[in-house]
Chain A
Amino acid sequence: MPESATETPGAGITAQAPAPAAKATRGAISIRNVTKIYDPEGVNVMAVDDCSLEIAAGEVCMIVGPSGCGKTTLLNAIAGFHSITFGEIYLDGQLLCGPEKPLADQGADRVVVFQNGALFPWKTLLQNVAYGPIVQETMGKAEALEKAADMLAEAGLADMAKKFPGEVSSGMARRAEIVRALINDPKVLLLDEPYRAMDALTKSIMHEALLEMYDRTKVTMFFITHDLEEAIFLGDRVVVLTTRPAKTKKIVDVKIPRPRDYRLLGSEEFRLLVSEAKGAVHEEAIKAFEAGERELA
């Protein structure tokens, strides 16, 4: 992998991207010594222990680790759903949360795509996508709906715009959810195992669509997954976390050039990277399984 070894991921990709993509200049996350202790019943449970991680602007950072290890805790801390106990998190040099302010403000610069999907079931896909700009008052209602319709059409969902989430397949719903996030022009996209419940065939379609979307937008992604192949196929870097309390165990750099497509899955380079990561994950998975603790949020 010598060709991209000296480049930062964002810069390297822009040069090769076919589309006139924006250069990624924003969305750098810095997680410094973050610790999270849950205290549900007077018993302290350490979910994240002194975890540090730097994510560059425009990077696709894949977080892998055993079930219940604290991956989602990190995501929740960035998104502002949960406070942190120690440490700081910065976004583009701005403090999100730290010792003085353990809970980050929620905002549309960090949009989350949820594990089980959180499109509002009582709104059509179109209304769902237009929701963000309307409530933030960045666009008028008509303008927002128009933009939303365009973006849905771009994602191949033009026929589905007037349907409710309960009426479309989970793949389509998930795609619409990503569109709903992107319409806000976020700095960071936080994805919490978005393709978890999907079959392998749907997944591969979703992956290609996501890669295509990334090549267009170059948005920073903090992507949690269990699936190592997914991680290496999509990511610039794969961070393997230990079992609870979570720490960074291993970081695998994926220096496969973009744009990528499904043919990559058969290559030698790809399989070497997968097995490298698999070794680290497997060890932790065994530890987590034997601990047998119930997963925390």
Chain B
Amino acid sequence: MSERVADTSGMDTVQPPPTGLRLAWYRARRSVKTPTPYLMVFGVALWLVTYSLLTEILKVPRFEKIPGPIEVITEWLSPDPAWGMSLFTEAYLINIYVSCRRILIAFGIATGIGVPLGLFMGWSKRFRDYSFPILETLRPIPILAWVPLAIIMFSGFETPILFLATLASLFVTTLNTLLGVDSIDESYFRAAGCLGSKPRHVFWHVVLPGAMPFIFTGLQISVGVAWFSLVAAEMISGDYGLGYMIMDSYMINTYVSMVMAMITLGFVGWATSAMVRAVGNRMMQWRIRALALEGR
């Protein structure tokens, strides 16, 4: 809401509204004049202090078993960690690298298959009639229920894990792409038709760009779902990776590394979804600019 003042002035002078860094800087300058950033810092601090009090300082029963924030941060930054894992040890970095590489592969395959599949399903009624029921039959089965089957079908560690993460994001991507095609206003198809388009033009100029907002919403969810399944798969049957690090630390009672892996997962998961969003924003300038003018 508070951005509206700036945006209307942009409209009057027919200049493009500030974008990217300039917009971020402008917003940051305005927001330090409101209580919001201070309250945010306060909120996070409050949470950290409570967490620390419960686990490290007061050592409340049950909470004392969980490693506290100070312990985790000292360990994380220590070049010579007491429990074997820190920012400076190779094992920790390898786990991050392995998980990220798996996500990249799984997400890449799922996007490469899911987006075209969803687009074709939305575009051709016949193809959709045949393929959608199969998708809908398989979709209610939780991804985790596929674990044993994946292990039976693909031997080794790597392929089953990749299969599970791919499958999870494939469903999400395909369905969101399909929804995206459905969401395109009929009049765009009609406009394309009466301007003399052939079916392939409709596909490239209407179906694909029109579904783009939904595709990127879907991709953001899909990358989250991929992490979810990846962690589960790595926990159940893994050799490396952050999920494995959690499970392994639990087994050998190095709880500090476990919490470290959890926090790392949260951060990496957030970073990947932010990257997907950034790519989406770059590819949909038309939408970003229109939304900016509406003050959103």
Report the bound CA distance from A123 to B206 in whole Å. 10
Q: Mark B152-176, 1 if CB is under 8 A from A, else 0.
A: 0000000000000000000000000
| B: contact size bracket | 20 to 34
Total chain A interface residues with beta-carbon distance under 8 A: 30
The residues of A that contact B287 with a CB separation of less than 8 Å are: 121-122, 166
The residues in B between 78 and 135 inclusive whose CB is less than 8 angstroms from any CB of A are: none
| A122-B190 CB under 8 A given contacts A166-B286, A167-B289 | no
Q: A122-B286, A164-B286, A166-B293 are in contact. Are A106 and B205 (CB under 8 A)?
A: no
CB pair B205–A135 under 8 Å, yes or no, is yes
Stretch at the interface among A2-10, A87-95, A111-119, A247-255: A111-119
Residues of B close to A114: CB separation below 8 A: 187, 190-191
B142 to chain A, nearest CB (A): 36
Give the A-B pair count, Cβ closer than 8 A.
84
- Among residues of B, the one whose C-beta sits closest to the C-beta of A180 is B195
A184 near B284 (CB under 8 angstroms)? Answer: no
Cβ contact of A121, chosen from B192, B193, B197, B286, cutoff 8 A: B286
A226 → chain B closest CB, angstroms:
19
A108 adjacent to B190 (CB under 8 Å) = no
**What's the Cα separation between A132 and B192 when bound, in Å?**
8
User: Which A residues are within 8 Å of any B CB, using their own CB?
Assistant: 79-81, 106-108, 110-112, 114-116, 118-123, 131-132, 135-136, 159, 164-167, 180, 184, 190
B197-227 interface bits toward A, Cβ cutoff 8 Å, 1 = contact, 0 = none: 1100100011001101000000000000000
Among A79, A164, A184: residue with most chain B CB under 10 A: A164
Interface on B for A, CB 8 Å cutoff? 14, 185, 187-188, 190-198, 201, 205-206, 209-210, 212, 284-287, 289-291, 293
Whether A108 and B14, one on each chain, are in contact in the complex, defined by CB atoms closer than 8 angstroms, is no
Q: Contacts of B187 on A, CB cut-off 8 Å? A: 114-116, 118
15 cross-chain CB contacts under 8 A: A79-B190, A79-B194, A114-B187, A114-B191, A116-B187, A118-B191, A120-B206, A122-B212, A123-B209, A131-B195, A135-B192, A135-B201, A164-B286, A166-B293, A184-B195
A167 vs B201: C-alpha distance when bound (angstroms) = 25
Given A111-B195, A120-B191, A166-B291, 14 more pairs with CB closer than 8 A: A79-B190, A79-B194, A106-B196, A108-B196, A115-B187, A118-B188, A122-B212, A123-B286, A131-B195, A131-B205, A135-B201, A166-B287, A167-B289, A184-B196
| Residue contact B190 to A112, C-beta cutoff 8 Å | yes
Max chain A Cβ within 10 angstroms of own Cβ: one of B14, B193, B289: B193
Report whether A164 and B285 are in contact in the complex, using a CB–CB cutoff of 8 Å. Answer: yes
Q: Are A108 and B289 interface neighbours, CB within 8 A?
A: no
Q: Which residues of B contact A180 (CB under 8 A)?
A: 195
> Across the two chains, which residue of chain B brings its CB closest to A110?
B194
Contact flag A106-B14 (CB < 8 Å), given A122-B212, A131-B205, A166-B290: no
